[in-house]
Chain A
């Protein structure tokens, strides 16, 4: 993606968006280029985007990162921990010095270690990012696929198709999702669908989150389709004898990519929180695999003696969700400046 560089600086500052968008080289710029132009100037959105990219890199390169800066995420380091309270010692060689309020943060353990087992928190946070992002992203893809297909069907064909799909969305939105998730995880036997252990757990999480959150995307797609199908270019297509397939795939879908992209970005943090909530309740991923929600749940036992153990995974969730939200908001504003008012 290249941004046009020949716009005079003064005009960029002095003139309103519409003028910039309609400037001399407007013909050579697509909506996406204009949006990128806007997004680049949105410092908050850019920061969010950079953090998101960093997080994705961290998740992808987790094994490398822990090999360089940490320890295997499930390795116990009990010599660092006080056996009496389970808290982290200030000096493992001299237990008399008491507990370290910073949870053993050092050059070896960048974020300290967890109480009781002494597992390296940096490694667990990094591996936890993998779990969180994997589940949230795949679940979001599931949402998007189901939501887009059903949303277009409802919006484009209308009539009874719209009635059935829209009422189905209402039902899904009213579903007590958390309770259902807890029940489902308890009921599905190990080995179902040819998956077992954590593969099954991840599959179930993706299914639950993806299958029950699609109406949010579905409603937006339906609404957009309703307006798009009345637009002149669609009418023109139709009058030239184009069939429904052509109109949906060639005329409407390309115009839906932008809102879908924006709302997917905003759906990911919701799904991250949902995964964390399920892990916190003990119905998510099985231990010892690291998850942020699971770490937080574990940490609550130690918040008086080892507050860092609550703070570290809490911050990880907070920063990730915030970054995705800022990034998503920035994207939305860039593509559609009026929406932020």
Chain B
């Protein structure tokens, strides 16, 4: 049973950002302080000596230290999709691959909202776009070297982007933003098509010299720097590339290099890369001497070994399994070793806008008013499972307004009088019937559907629950408008996390009318609102970030007015933080601990 990762079918699993200053978070911290005070000094387990507090790592660095040495021990219940930086889409892998793969740009090493600010990594400074944001120039730092001492060039970065994005043999796992965005490259068949000159015909990126890259885009895209954070921008020397097999021995540009080959399903070990120059790298501390990853360890065993101090980090970053969760958050001796940060994943219910009677706004509003948000939060594990959401964008994204609450009710239990009023307005005073789609193998999804069904029944909206397997749900059931129509799926339980920390990265796939597709559709409510579409078209050429943020705020509010998404919670994870870990904090850009800063006091 894997609880550790998001499946590939959830296309935007990449976590973005979060800011933690919302009211529920503050309340949670207060409770935590109180409890920590009561249980103060409790010993036992893998680290009773720590004087850290519950959830301290969400907003601060726990056990700060510059001490180097020791072995950092990771384990995960499944495996990488691939440790090749050009061929991965798992959030933990984007975080972990930074040990051996430096990218053009990167997130800042800092807790809280500062973490999502972009910094140069291989690049000398943040790139500037031209007038209409269609041309971006990036200059590399001088003197950067691979593990074998050879120099990192602009051509290597261009090659890395080519292999992960272009042609029939492009590496399959990662997203394809460059393919969508780069101009003059539609006929390029990828580096594996022409052995002699792998980059012939790839004109979307120019490399006028060894340290300069010029990106030409098809259209204005003011958020292009976010795309340059992807591990796909890590350099790959063309003569070392072996396609998908490159994963067994990635050539390192970072502080660590592979010790032996990556063994799928078994292990990956890293040792120091002496060619890495710390003075060129502001975001990697490189404290441990050695890093070991065990693959394919049972989740319950991982959790138990974390608590016993026999393991340092659960690589998946999605928190302890449900069995251990109940124990560590209630046990006074363990609680202070637990972080419970809010991630940027929204759990929500799509309300379809094209099938009767939900094509009538008032009928959708009736559902918004009738929903019991308190019960929805309980279905997601209560206060430690997530914070009740009343808007679409996670509170941390620029432009989000947590005070937006268009469908208020006492104790969040729903406003039945208002719901009845809306039902009468849409000509369904006696209620109507529809169905709720949910993923059968996701217990929290099913609980959410049950809670919603109970709440809607209070105003005679009869919603039958239909279950589907999660590996086909996002593509062929909820993700197919014709399937949705045939099966009367007026409501569908869903989750979403941004590929990058902006309103565009979060909302464009789920709210833009142009994003509706026949299969793999994420705009499941099928909202095709002229006003929202226009804002999305407009925002990509706006250069000023604050101006963009205010447009995102408008889109969020408009979508809530249109009652197309019933937000349930902004999810929280329960991360265990063994006492021997140093420099631990939750990184908003990856929605887990920042692996680059971690050190250990053990051997």
Contact = CB atoms under 8 A, between A and B. Distances in A.
Given A117-B450, A117-B451, A286 B465 contact: yes
Given A282-B441, A304-B327, A84 B465 contact: no
A86 B468 contact: no
A81 B378 contact: yes
A286 B382 contact: no
A211 interface: no
A298 interface: yes
B138 interface: no
A298 B441 CA distance: 10
A170 interface: no
B338 to A, nearest CB: 12
B384 interface: yes
A86 B466 contact: no
A137 to B, nearest CB: 24
Contact of B379 (A82, A116, A186): A116
B446 interface: yes
B449 A85 contact: no
A325 to B, nearest CB: 30
A305 B487 contact: no
B493 to A, nearest CB: 12
Contacts of B374: 78, 83
A228 to B, nearest CB: 47
B438 to A, nearest CB: 8
A82 B385 CA distance: 13
Interface in B527-549: none
Nearest to A305: B326
A117 B447 contact: yes
Contacts of A297: 443
B464 A286 contact: yes
Contact of B451 (A76, A81, A197, A282): A76
Given A186-B472, A304-B323, A83 B378 contact: yes
A99 B464 CA distance: 32
Interface in A92-122: 98-99, 116-117
A98 B331 CA distance: 11
Interface string A276-306: 0000001100111000000001101111110
Contacts of A283: 440, 467
A186 B468 contact: yes
B486 to A, nearest CB: 7
B279 interface: no
Interface residues of B, number: 35
Interface string B477-488: 000000000110
B326 A304 contact: yes
A289 to B, nearest CB: 9
The prevalent SS among residues of B at the interface is helix
Given A282-B467, A286-B466, A302 B322 contact: yes
A74 B375 CA distance: 14
A190 interface: yes
Interface string B291-325: 00000000000000000000000000000001110
Most chain A beta carbons < 10 A, residue from B327, B384, B454: B454
Contacts of B378: 78, 81, 83, 86, 116-117
Interface string A297-321: 1101111110000000000000000
B329 interface: yes
A164 to B, nearest CB: 36
Given A99-B330, A305-B330, A84 B450 contact: no
Contacts of A189: 486-487
Interface residues of A, number: 32
Contacts of A75: 454
Contacts of A70: none
A186 B469 contact: yes
B97 interface: no
Interface string A63-89: 000000000001110100111111100
Given A78-B375, A186-B468, A85 B450 contact: no
B453 interface: yes
Contact of B453 (A85, A116, A197, A288): A288
B467 A286 contact: yes
B326 A87 contact: yes
Nearest to A198: B464
Contact of A86 (B327, B382, B467, B487): B382
Contact of A76 (B322, B324, B375, B487): B375
Contact of B465 (A78, A288, A302, A303): A288
B375 to A, nearest CB: 6
Nearest to B450: A288
A150 B510 CA distance: 55
Contacts of B81: none
Nearest to B444: A301
B324 A304 contact: yes
B381 interface: yes
Nearest to A119: B450
Contacts of A304: 323-324, 326-327
Contacts of B487: 189-190
Nearest to B382: A83
A85 B465 contact: no
A297 B379 CA distance: 15
A304 B325 CA distance: 9
B597 interface: no
Contacts of B451: 76, 117
A99 B382 CA distance: 15
A301 B443 contact: yes
B377 interface: yes
Contacts of B379: 116-117
Contacts of B383: 83-84
Contacts of B468: 186
Contacts of A117: 375, 378-379, 447, 450-451
A26 to B, nearest CB: 59
Contact of A287 (B323, B330, B450): B450
A76 B384 contact: no
A197 B330 CA distance: 39
A302 B326 contact: yes
A287 B436 CA distance: 11
Interface string A225-253: 00000000000000000000000000000
Given A85-B382, A304-B323, A305-B330, A74 B454 contact: yes
Contacts of A197: 464, 466
A66 to B, nearest CB: 17
A104 to B, nearest CB: 15
Contacts of A305: 326-327, 330
Contacts of B326: 85-87, 302, 304-305
Contacts of A298: 443, 446
Most chain A beta carbons < 10 A, residue from B379, B450, B464, B472: B450
Contacts of B443: 297-298, 301
B307 to A, nearest CB: 12
A301 B322 contact: yes
The 8 A-B residue pairs with the shortest CB-CB distance, nearest first, are A282-B440, A305-B326, A301-B322, A83-B382, A304-B326, A288-B450, A304-B323, A84-B382
10 contacts: A83-B378, A84-B382, A85-B329, A287-B465, A288-B450, A297-B443, A298-B446, A300-B323, A303-B323, A304-B324
Interface of B: 322-324, 326-327, 329-330, 374-375, 377-379, 381-384, 440-441, 443, 446-447, 449-451, 453-454, 464-469, 472, 486-487
Given A286-B465, A304-B323, 13 more contacts: A74-B450, A76-B451, A83-B382, A84-B382, A85-B384, A86-B382, A117-B450, A190-B486, A282-B469, A283-B440, A287-B449, A287-B450, A297-B443
